[in-house]
């Protein structure tokens, strides 16, 4: 069985013992939350509602105990129809202003859950009707710290399983159900388990890990056949934009579930005709591990970059797939693009620019022959906003390929990493030295219509080449004037022997 604690401590991220987590109990409510809960109590009094029960459950309770802001309220409601109570609330706040969305969700064959959504004071509220016993509801949840309730009417935390608060304090991930109970067969919970372990540096219960290992084939099939790519995308976004994405990928690989999370259920071959192997997946994982180190260590070298959640998600998505550009499916579709589009849901020009020009960029760095023209032409293809990502990803890949390890990396050669980074960073320093940050915005000083006006009768097929000439000269030359442009066009027309 995996020694998870050792695995966690040996991984590249710094490990902090999770046995001294400070939680805030009782919960500190925000002014909006206080206002909303007061409205609940006023409605109950005004409508003479008896035996009603209102409890906040799940992530809101966990995050508030950890003193982490959370704006989504999942509330179990018992003793009244959820839609009716939401309408009372809507009418009291501002008649007709807030939209109610009603859904019926089937959680399992014998359990039907009615859900009513509403939004009050910019806080989304999900009212879930609770038909049975609240203890049974707690048992159906994934982990003990997510089965904590906040009783709104009594203003207190309810730990019905008598494990949640202690597990949260001790940084311990424990399933609510025993391993032999049916509801634990849910592979999505494993991804969530990994997300919590990565985000909070929590340790996972050995019994749960053992259960996952012994039932690995069940979870592998479940990930491919039942868990949708859309749900996986949502979880991966949280992981990749979180504080420790490399650890999550590392653990999924160690659990032998990464291929299934990425929906790799076909045959993929590289340019040499070799099938995608475990070694190839290991290389991707190591690129990801080193990429996290590189991202944390060197991103400050690129001033002015906006490293928001979407940037991080794009960056780590490309990191995970960049090596897989060497592999294609039977229809010649590039594996990395399949994963980005279908699982990770990245179809924008930014990641595609990085992938499409990655080899070109690396070959350019290897030649180490910089001048304003060739750098400018490359930057206009890659786009200047992608340079930091291109450099950091290139450093990670080159390091992993040089190390060529047969196991996951648990430490780095800092000198080698620094030397590789400086090689790529020299390219960035050249850009800064030559003031080429705006090279992608350059437009020809004379446009196509202007060329035709100056040179009447010139064939249209040459206009593109002449515009390219002007752009290249503008890249090379500061203070390039319109007179300079006309002379450059004349020289190019003579060079091409254009007759008109």
CATH annotation of 20-170: 3.30.460.10
Q: What percent of the chain has pLDDT over 70?
A: 89
CA torsion, points 221, 183, 18, 147, in degrees to nearest 10?
A: 140
- pLDDT at res. 144: 95
Q: pLDDT tens for residues 425-473?
A: 999 999 999 999 999 999 999 999 999 999 998 999 999 999 999 999 9
| 37 vs 18: which has the higher pLDDT | 37
Q: pLDDT tens for residues 372-384?
A: 999 999 999 988 8
Residue 282 clears pLDDT 80, i.e. is over it: yes
Phi-psi region of 263 (alpha: psi -120 to 50; beta: other; left: phi over 0): left
Residue 478's pLDDT band (boundaries 50, 70, 90)? confident
Question: What 3-state DSSP class applies to 271?
Answer: coil
Residue 107's pLDDT band (boundaries 50, 70, 90)? very low
Residue with tokens 């990493």: 417
Q: What percent of the chain has pLDDT over 90?
A: 60
Pick the range with the lowest mean pLDDT from 37-41, 117-121, 277-281.
Answer: 117-121
β-pairing, 72-78 vs 123-129, is parallel
DSSP state of 215: T
In angstroms, the CA 397 to CA 424 distance is 12
- pLDDT at res. 320: 94
**Cis, peptide link before residue 26, omega less than 30° from 0:** yes
Put the strands of the sheet holding 53-57 in their side by side order.
101-108, 111-120, 123-129, 72-78, 53-57, 149-151, 156-158
Residue 101 clears pLDDT 90, i.e. is over it: no
- pLDDT at res. 13: 46
| pTM for the predicted model, two decimal places | 0.85
Residue with tokens 């800064």: 432
- Show contacts of 436-443: CB within 8 Å, 24+ apart: 436/372, 436/375, 436/376, 436/379, 436/384, 436/475, 437/384, 438/384, 439/375, 439/376, 439/379, 439/380, 439/384, 439/475, 440/379, 440/380, 440/383, 440/384, 442/376, 442/380, 442/471, 442/474, 442/475, 443/471
Q: pLDDT tens for residues 171-226?
A: 899 999 765 555 556 889 999 999 999 988 888 888 888 889 889 999 999 999 98
DSSP state of 386: G
In angstroms, the CA 265 to CA 243 distance is 29
Of 274, 277, 240, the C-alpha closest to 259 is: 277
Residue 99's pLDDT band (boundaries 50, 70, 90)? low
- pLDDT at res. 245: 93
Residue 49 clears pLDDT 80, i.e. is over it: yes
**Span 367-375, mean pLDDT?**
93
- pLDDT at res. 106: 42
Q: Which residues pair with 106 in a beta bridge?
A: 112
In angstroms, the CA 78 to CA 87 distance is 16
Asked if 338 and 311 count as a contact pair (C-beta separation under 8 A), the reply is no
Does the CA dihedral 237-238-241-246 come out positive or negative?
negative
**Span 67-91, mean pLDDT?**
87
**Span 289-309, mean pLDDT?**
88
- Tell me the C-alpha to C-alpha distance, in Å, between residue 113 and each of 131, 158, 232: 8, 22, 23
Residue 413 clears pLDDT 90, i.e. is over it: yes
């Amino acid at each position: 069985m995996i020694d998870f604690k050792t695995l966690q401590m040996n991984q590249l991220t710094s490990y902090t013992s999770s046995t001294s987590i400070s939680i805030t109990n009782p919960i500190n409510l925000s002014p909006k939350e206080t206002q909303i809960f007061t409205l609940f109590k006023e409605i109950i009094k005004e409508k003479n509602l008896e035996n009603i029960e209102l409890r906040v459950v799940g992530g809101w309770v966990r995050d508030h105990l950890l003193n982490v802001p959370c704006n989504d309220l999942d509330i179990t409601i018992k003793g009244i129809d959820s839609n009716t109570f939401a309408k009372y609330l809507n009418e009291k706040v501002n008649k007709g202003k807030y939209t109610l969305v009603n859904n019926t969700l089937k959680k399992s064959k014998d359990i039907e859950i009615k859900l009513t959504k509403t939004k009050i004071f910019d806080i989304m509220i999900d009212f879930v009707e609770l038909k049975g016993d609240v203890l049974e509801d707690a048992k159906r949840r994934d982990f003990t710290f997510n089965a904590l309730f906040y009783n709104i009417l009594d203003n207190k935390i309810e730990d019905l399983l008598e494990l949640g608060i202690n597990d949260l304090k001790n940084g311990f991930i424990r399933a609510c159900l025993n391993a032999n109970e049916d509801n634990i067969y849910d592979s999505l919970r494993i991804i969530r388990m990994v997300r919590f372990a990565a985000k909070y540096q929590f340790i996972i219960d050995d019994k749960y890990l053992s259960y996952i290992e012994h039932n690995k084939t069940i979870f592998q099939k479940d990930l491919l056949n039942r868990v949708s790519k859309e749900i996986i995308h949502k979880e991966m976004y949280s992981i990749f934009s979180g504080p420790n994405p490399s650890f999550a990928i590392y653990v999924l690989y160690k659990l032998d579930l990464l291929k299934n999370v990425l929906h790799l259920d076909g045959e993929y071959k590289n340019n040499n005709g070799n099938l995608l192997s475990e070694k190839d997946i290991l290389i991707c994982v190591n690129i990801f591990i080193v990429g996290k180190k590189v991202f944390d260590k060197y991103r400050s070298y690129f001033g002015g970059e906006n490293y928001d959640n979407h940037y991080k998600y794009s960056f780590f998505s490309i990191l995970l797939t960049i090596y897989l550009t060497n592999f294609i499916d039977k229809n010649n579709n590039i594996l990395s693009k399949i994963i980005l589009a279908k699982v990770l849901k990245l179809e924008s020009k930014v990641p595609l620019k990085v992938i499409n020009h990655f080899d070109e960029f690396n070959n350019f760095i290897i030649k180490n022959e910089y001048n304003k023209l060739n750098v400018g032409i490359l930057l206009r293809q890659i786009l200047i906003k992608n340079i930091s990502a291109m450099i950091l990803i290139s450093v990670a890949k080159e390091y992993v390929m040089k190390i060529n390890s047969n196991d996951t990396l648990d430490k780095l050669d800092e000198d080698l990493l620094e030397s590789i980074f400086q090689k790529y960073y020299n390219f960035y320093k050249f850009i800064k030295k030559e003031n080429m940050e705006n090279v992608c915005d350059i437009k020809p000083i004379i446009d196509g219509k202007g060329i035709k006006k100056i040179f009447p009768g010139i064939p249209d097929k040459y206009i593109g080449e002449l515009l390219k000439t002007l752009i290249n000269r503008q890249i090379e030359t500061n203070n390039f004037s319109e007179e300079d442009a006309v002379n450059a066009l004349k020289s190019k027309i003579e060079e091409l022997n254009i007759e008109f």
